[in-house]
Amino acid sequence: MIPRYARPDMVAIWSPETKFKIWYEIEAHACDAMADLGVIPRENAEAVWKAKDVEFDVARIDEIEAVTKHDVIAFLTHLAEHVGSDEARFVHQGMTSSDVLDTCLNVQLVRAADLLLVGMDKVLAALKKRALEHKDTVRVGRSHGIHAEPTTMGLTFARFYAEMDRNKNRLEKARWEVATGAISGAVGTFANIDPAVEEHVCEKLGLRPEPISTQVIPRDRHAMFFATLGVIASSIENIAVEIRHMQRTEVLEGAEFFSMGQKGSSAMPHKKNPVLTENLTGLARLVRMTVIPAMENVALWHERDISHSSVERGIGPDATVTLDFALHRLAGVIDKMLIFPDNMLDNMNKFPGLVMSQRVLLALTQAGVSREDAYSMVQRNALKVWEERLDFRELLLADEAVVEALGVDAINEKFDMGYHTKHVDTIFKRVFGDS
């Protein structure tokens, strides 16, 4: 990923230096386990740890790989340069390249998931804070982009909180599912290496042994991991699109914070554009772009091929680095977001009283009017509000059939805004518990 959309902590997980360090730990721990089993001499296993503080030379490994055309062999050759050729002769005993590559990839994905969970916690904290702050801030709810009935800004934030909380749960499960390692040798039969070696390495690296590998860890695990990242990205876009709609000039119920010195347009000095949430919409597309290739990686020839390898070298860092950046950007947007309650009320009153149409309809049916007749009575008055911007309540009070069915006091009572917000506390308790 380009530095513009990357945070250093996540980038470091995917650096060549980190990768080779994990490869080294896998090999060194495997040597310890084989020494415990008496497969290799103890002194050889201990000799491998001479390289524990080494910063492996990426350029040197690349130089060796240019000849060997094999990345793991190039690394092992470089490791022997540090440990000593004779001392390192038992490194990689009974193992295959995928034992190193797949176990390393899953270590990286687990570490990436841990950083993503930190970002999700920041988003959840920001959403909860704004939800509580605006629990009773009334705004019009919209369906199909058209005024529907009143809701509150707090409920909007609470809805996004609940969605992100589900996503956190999904990510925790995806992290668990991908946290496996395999040190099972060629075609996964343990023919040349004891399963105890796999158990030892996995324990040291915070993984679980893969119950049955072929020559690779099954890629359905990775497909689920990247699919989960795609769902989280879609939720980020869901929030971003709502904020972008709220910032439209004709709406202006909320807006991104506009910092001192910020410029919205190179041509029009008056502009304040929702650039951060537009950026989040684009980043969400990039994350989702990795999902289909991850699913296509599930189907491999026989015990393995490497059609998945080139894909994962790209989508591993791309998806996690991008999503990590997006989560932290979203948390900042929500935390600093400007809310305009007066504009919310002004928007609701552009068509005075119209949002109460359903309540009047239900009252008419309860008063004995057929639903068809009640709908017609309400709609004929509602259309005048649409067409002439008249006051809906005044129109109803001037409609003899409506007054005869309900009475003046009952009509006026149907315009109490509190009717629509009476269960906000109940919803908040469902989302946030007693906090």
Give Cβ neighbours of residue 269 (< 8 Å, ≥ 6 apart).
263
**DSSP helix/strand/coil, 338:** strand
Known catalytic residue at 435: no
**Does the structure show a pLDDT above 80 at 260?**
no
- Confidence band of 27 (pLDDT split at 50, 70, 90): very high
For position 185, what pLDDT does the model report?
Answer: 96
Q: From the candidates 85, 143, 144, 435, which is the catalytic residue?
A: 144
Burial of residue 141 (CB within 10 Å: 0-12, 13-18, 19+) is middle
Predicted confidence (pLDDT) per residue in 139-149, tens digit: 999 999 999 99
Predicted confidence (pLDDT) per residue in 190-212, tens digit: 999 999 999 999 999 999 999 99
Query: For the chain, what is the radius of gyration of the CA atoms?
Result: 30
Rounded mean pLDDT of 48-71? Answer: 96
Domain end residue (candidates: 42, 58, 83): 83
Predicted confidence (pLDDT) per residue in 107-121, tens digit: 999 999 999 999 999
- Domain assignment present for residue 292? The answer is yes
**Within this chain, do residues 170 and 274 fall inside the same structural domain, yes or no?**
yes
pLDDT more than 90, % of the chain: 95
- Domain assignment present for residue 368? The answer is yes
**Within this chain, do residues 116 and 239 fall inside the same structural domain, yes or no?**
yes
* Calpha distance 129→137 (Å, rounded): 14
Range of the domain at 317: 97-345
**Number of domain units in the chain:** 3
Contact call for residues 201 and 183 (beta carbons, < 8 A): yes
**Within this chain, do residues 44 and 187 fall inside the same structural domain, yes or no?**
no
Closest CA to 89 of 133, 148, 43, 155: 43
Give Cβ neighbours of residue 317 (< 8 Å, ≥ 6 apart).
1, 11, 13, 14
Known catalytic residue at 144: yes
Domain end residue (candidates: 290, 322, 345): 345
- Domain assignment present for residue 140? The answer is yes
pLDDT more than 70, % of the chain: 100
Closest CA to 253 of 162, 348, 359, 158: 348
**Within this chain, do residues 172 and 320 fall inside the same structural domain, yes or no?**
yes
The DSSP letter of residue 215 is S
Q: From the candidates 15, 70, 265, 423, which is the catalytic residue?
A: 265
- Domain assignment present for residue 431? The answer is no
The residue with greater pLDDT, 175 or 434, is 175
For position 258, what pLDDT does the model report?
Answer: 83
Closest CA to 8 of 328, 391, 299, 301: 328
- Domain assignment present for residue 423? The answer is no
For position 267, what pLDDT does the model report?
Answer: 79
* Calpha distance 93→85 (Å, rounded): 14
Q: CATH number for the domain including 71?
A: 1.10.275.10
Average pLDDT across the chain, whole number = 96
- Confidence band of 1 (pLDDT split at 50, 70, 90): low
**Within this chain, do residues 334 and 381 fall inside the same structural domain, yes or no?**
no
- Domain assignment present for residue 270? The answer is yes
- Domain assignment present for residue 104? The answer is yes
Residue type, 116: L
159's enclosing H/E stretch is helix 153-178
Predicted confidence (pLDDT) per residue in 62-100, tens digit: 999 999 999 999 999 999 999 999 999 999 999 999 999
Predicted confidence (pLDDT) per residue in 385-417, tens digit: 999 999 999 999 999 999 999 999 999 999 999
**Within this chain, do residues 29 and 57 fall inside the same structural domain, yes or no?**
yes
Domain end residue (candidates: 61, 83, 105): 83
Contact call for residues 138 and 421 (beta carbons, < 8 A): yes
**Within this chain, do residues 243 and 358 fall inside the same structural domain, yes or no?**
no
Give Cβ neighbours of residue 313 (< 8 Å, ≥ 6 apart).
none
Q: Which two tokens stand for residue 128?
A: 């909860």
Q: CATH number for the domain including 233?
A: 1.20.200.10
**Within this chain, do residues 53 and 117 fall inside the same structural domain, yes or no?**
no
Contact call for residues 65 and 165 (beta carbons, < 8 A): no
259's enclosing H/E stretch is none
* Calpha distance 31→39 (Å, rounded): 9
* Calpha distance 432→241 (Å, rounded): 24
For position 269, what pLDDT does the model report?
Answer: 84
**For residue 164, what are the β-bridge partners?**
none
